[in-house]
Amino acid sequence: MKKKLLDVVVEKSMNMIEILQMKIIHFFLFHIKNLIILVLTFCGAIIGSNIYAKDIFNVELKCKGHDQEYCDIVKNSDNKTNFILKNMRYPQVDKVNENIFHAYGSCGSPCQYHFFISKMQEDQTKEFIALDKKNNCLIESDSKNNVIYARKLFNKNKKTIVNLKNKEFNSVPVDVAVYNSFQEKSYFDDKGQLHLVAMLADVDKNGDSLYFNKIIKKTCE
């Protein structure tokens, strides 16, 4: 009888130990699960904050008034906002490539402004003709000296590519502001060659406009 009672006591003790072990395991599993969730949440918050903190570089317009006539040209970089120009009338902004924006507009007649804005630098010209977006080769005129230059953006070393006093340009009705004669039609082709294009005063037999087109290779080299 005593032996049977002892066996019962031992069995119950074993059951209680097993139950206690299961509770301990469940307890640790529960807290480990919560700990994992907490760690993942913390890591996610860090990653999210890093993504949020990642610098976003762009140039945008902040316009005022009912018809949005006057705008500020604003650069956003390094989590800071800088004003490039203020209260400009109907300016425009184009993205040249991932690193450069082109802000431009009119400041009278004849008067233009062209700003090229990167994250770290700014460049400008008042006599813009064309830009090669692949290598940042800028074509601009010098109306005072009747020449056209090529240079790389953010670099002041100019290379004269055209002297408008040459005979080949005698048929070209060059404006007092030289860029006005070439800006609309000039472009860089897929090979990086500059097509310096200007409308001529003459027309063909069908009455269509005729154009002067001078191809210049390696303009910024």
- Confidence at residue 192, expressed as pLDDT on a 0 to 100 scale: 94
- Confidence at residue 21, expressed as pLDDT on a 0 to 100 scale: 59
- Confidence at residue 52, expressed as pLDDT on a 0 to 100 scale: 47
**Host H or E run for residue 50:** helix 2-53
Closest CA to 127 of 118, 140, 136: 140
- Confidence at residue 74, expressed as pLDDT on a 0 to 100 scale: 94
- Confidence at residue 121, expressed as pLDDT on a 0 to 100 scale: 93
CB 130 within 8 A of CB 145: no
List C-alpha distances in Å: 42 to 48, 49, 52, 169.
Answer: 10, 11, 15, 69
Confidence (pTM) = 0.72
- Confidence at residue 177, expressed as pLDDT on a 0 to 100 scale: 93
- Confidence at residue 79, expressed as pLDDT on a 0 to 100 scale: 84
Q: Which residues of the chain have pLDDT under 50?
A: 2-10, 49-53
CA 43, 46, 51, 55 dihedral sign is negative
- Confidence at residue 27, expressed as pLDDT on a 0 to 100 scale: 55
